[in-house]
Amino acid sequence: MTGLEIGLFSVGVIILLIYSGMHVGIALSVVSFLSVALQKDSLTLAMKLLTLAAADGIADQTFAVIPLFVLMGLIMSASDVGRDAYDVGDYFLRPIRGGLGLATVGSNAVFAAVTGVSIASAAVFTRVAVPEMLRLGYSPRFAVGTVAGSSVLGMLIPPSILLIIYAILTEQSIGMMFFAGIGPGILLSSVYCLGIIGMAYFMPWFVYDRTGRFSDQAAIAQHDPRDEHSLGGILIKFLPLMGLVIIVLGGIYGGIFTPTEAGAVGAICALLLAVVRKKMSLKSFWKVLLETGHITASICFLIIAATMYSRSLALAGVPMEIGGLVRTATDQFLLVVLIYVLIVLVLGTIIDSVSIILIMVPLFLPVMQGFDADPIWFGILTVIAVEVGLLTPPLGIACFVIKGCLDDPRITLGDVFLGAIPFALMMIFVLGLITAWPHLVYVNQWI
């Protein structure tokens, strides 16, 4: 078999194994091990490759950033930070048409800047935002769709776990990846807000509940957000959030902390904030530590498997063959980007975000570098394309999380997916923007 055939066959086998129920890391490891063993006709060489991948894959101290940011995110999630962020956005934006949708997007953007985990955002705001939106007359599909769409900001606005994984996998600077995620994160949030306002004016049947089955008409007539919160109370809720964002991200970009040190400082500050607000007991803290360990072990195992997979592909000459094939077929860079994005979007409907990055980036990064593409720009493009998969069936993890967290049985999984469609389309629009104008991401032009 040629290198290209090996690459295509390995991707097919990996997807088949994942679909059959095998863990992603095990599927990557098994395929990589068998690929090397068959190519070199040596189980010993394959075993050595596995050993080196396990030793080298996560040996660098940079990997300490993963558990630290995961710990910070979980502590903040357990401390009702999402509810505080929503109260702040709700106070200022509710008077605008579609204002609760805008408040959800803005709150999720702030929450993303202190957690970096999309699934946490989806779970928190399903419980916080959806009941309030339904009570005040918004349609269920719009309510759950807004939460689903805005939850993906957690994987783009730093600190993002996906950006960390991509940076480690491609040997890029984590700080530079974080810096590159700010502009696109703000852009995507802005597009969401404009889209919500547009839908409120031109598609009111989608935004508002005309049946009255979900809303509390008396609350709609009498409710005034200023009766619930004073400006001083809102500032008290807002300042700790912004303080943590400034400490973590400002420390990184100001050269005070390395990303790993920023993760440690952020985790300590988050813990202090939770303790001061009496939101963290010893029992809940132990639960957070256990969950941090489980998530970190899972991510590190995936990275080890991806390291082995990348080396097996390199051994077969897959990146060079794909690059040669692409350059032979077309010299149009935009066409290559379009092909890559389409493949990622299709994969996003069947496998999870981390798996797509671990499978596709080793295949296409050398091709993109052959066109002198900035790997940091490629990383942002990849993360946005991958995150569309969180909103699309049949996998759509964010949609499943939202459905699982809903207390209202009248809202179906189909409603969640239908509500998320406009936001998935807006993400694809943003993909087009950063492809047409790469300077929206290019780090060198922002420094």
Q: What is the pLDDT of residues 263-285, one digit of tens each?
A: 888 888 888 888 887 878 888 88
C-alpha span between 308 and 12 (Å, rounded) = 17
What distance in Å separates the CA atoms of residue 52 and residue 308, rounded to the nearest whole number?
8
**Residue 138 backbone dihedrals phi, psi, to 5 degrees:** -85, 150
Give the lowest-confidence range in 130-134, 293-297, 303-307.
303-307
The predicted model gives 386-392 an average pLDDT of 84
* Whether 161 contacts 66, CB under 8 Å: yes
pTM for the model: 0.76
Torsion angles phi and psi, residue 56, rounded to 5: -85, -25
**pLDDT-based confidence at residue 384 (cuts at 50, 70, 90):** very high
Counting Cβ atoms within 10 Å, is residue 413 exposed (0-12), middle (13-18) or buried (19+)? middle
pLDDT in tens, 132-180: 788 878 899 999 999 988 888 878 887 788 888 898 888 888 888 888 8
Sequence-ordered alpha helix ranges (H) in 58-153: 65-78, 81-93, 99-115, 118-135, 140-151
Task: Count CB neighbours of 309 within 10 A.
Answer: 26
Instruction: Give me 222's structure tokens.
Output: 């009498």
Is the CB of residue 348 less than 8 Å from the CB of residue 386?
A: yes
Q: Which pLDDT score, from 0 to 100, does residue 11 have?
A: 74
Question: Per-residue pLDDT tens for 355-376?
Answer: 788 778 887 888 888 888 889 9
pLDDT value of residue 195? 94
Sign of CA dihedral 382, 82, 299, 390: negative
Can you give the pLDDT at residue 295? Answer: 75
Residue 272 CA to residue 288 CA, distance in Å, equals 14
Average pLDDT of the residues in 416-438: 91
Residue 309 has pLDDT above 80, yes or no: no
CB 288 within 8 A of CB 78: yes
pLDDT in tens, 395-408: 677 787 788 778 77
Task: Give the whole-angstrom CA distance, residue 349 versus residue 111.
Answer: 26
Structure letter (DSSP) for residue 98 = T
pLDDT above 50: residue 443: no
Q: How far is CA 169 from CA 124, 135, 304, 357, 358, in A?
A: 29, 45, 10, 9, 8
CB neighbourhood size of 59 (10 A): 9
User: Cα(143)–Cα(214) distance, rounded to whole angstroms?
Assistant: 11
**Category of 437 on φ-ψ map: left (φ > 0), alpha (ψ -120 to 50) or beta:** beta
Over residues 290-317, the mean pLDDT reads 76
Confidence bin at 445 (pLDDT 50/70/90): very low
Neighbours of 277 (CB within 10 A): 13
Q: Which of 48-52, 311-315, 374-378, 400-404 has the highest mean pLDDT?
A: 374-378
| pLDDT at 199 > cutoff 90 | yes
Phi-psi region of 407 (alpha: psi -120 to 50; beta: other; left: phi over 0): alpha
Element (H, E) at 343: helix 333-348
Report whether pLDDT(324) > 80: no
C-alpha distances in angstroms, 248 versus 78, 154, 172, 185? 19, 15, 19, 17
Compute the Cα dihedral for 319, 322, 324, 330 and give only its sign.
negative
pLDDT of residue 122: 79
pLDDT digits (tens, 9 = 90+) for 210-256: 766 665 555 555 555 445 666 677 777 778 778 887 888 788 778 78
- pLDDT score at 447: 44
Position 222 scores a pLDDT of 52
Q: For a pLDDT cut of 90, what percent of the chain falls above it?
A: 11
Helix axes 99-115, 65-78, angle to 10 degrees: 140
- Find the DSSP H helices in 156-281: 161-170, 174-202, 204-207, 217-222, 225-228, 231-245, 251-253, 259-276
Mean pLDDT of the chain: 79
| Residue of higher predicted confidence among 313 and 1 | 313
Task: Output the six-digit token pair for 176.
Answer: 């530079």
Residue 4 pLDDT greater than 80, yes or no: no
202-225 CB burial, b ≥16 within 10 A, e <16: eeeebbbbeeeebbeeeeeeeeeb
